[in-house]
Chain A
Amino acid sequence: GENVEQHPSTLSVQEGDSAVIKCTYSDSASNYFPWYKQELGKRPQLIIDIRSNVGEKKDQRIAVTLNKTAKHFSLHITETQPEDSAVYFCAASNNGGATNKLIFGTGTLLAVQP
């Protein structure tokens, strides 16, 4: 069935360092890959997304890469700041199929140490 694996489950970095979170999806029909940030007790919020016709997308300190052949996509955060500390979720969906439901990874707790 549809599955998204996410690693690592926890990640601790020093302020200013880079953080990388990796995801693998199983459904080859997936063509939309968003990343959400969730602060404690709050709703998930979209931070960046990528579609299957693009290999890389960047938005200031955040970038996402996609390898469709390997069914891998990754989130890269550079120059991390304490306010980047949160849980990050990757997701995959088949945009244009019968449903655009998002299948989420299990999340990565990122802690940025000042």
Chain B
Amino acid sequence: DSGVTQTPKHLITATGQRVTLRCSPRSGDLSVYWYQQSLDQGLQFLIHYYNGEERAKGNILERFSAQQFPDLHSELNLSSLELGDSALYFCASSAPGTGNTEAFFGQGTRLTVV
């Protein structure tokens, strides 16, 4: 167990719908990262939050948004869903400080858009 919790584990929804994925980082970690892993694909970086502030954006679609709350949990919102959004979405967290960059991954949320 990495200490990073993601809910739900599985999500099936229809095209055009909106979903929210939730991530609770390890205790004490201030950074939360979101990654998308499509079938047979690598881990695509979406967005990084640090202590409530957005720090970096990757190839995140405009239909997607994220935020990190004061209790440090994060949510990834996906709207106007398309079939191609079906993927495994991972959240990772890391400790504060420049020397602690190991990222611990949650078990992922498998999103299926039908």
Contact = CB atoms under 8 A, between A and B. Distances in A.
Interface stretch (A61-69, A72-80, A89-97): A89-97
Interface residues of A, number: 23
Given A43-B108, A89-B43, A104-B42, A96 B98 contact: yes
A102 B33 contact: yes
B2 A43 contact: yes
Task: Classify the secondary structure of A's interface with B.
Answer: loop
Nearest to A107: B42
Nearest to B107: A43
A89 B44 CA distance: 12
Contacts of A103: 45
A100 B31 contact: yes
Interface of B: 2, 31, 33, 35, 41-45, 48, 50, 55-56, 58, 90, 92, 94, 98-99, 101-108
Given A43-B90, A43-B105, 4 more contacts: A95-B99, A95-B101, A101-B56, A102-B33
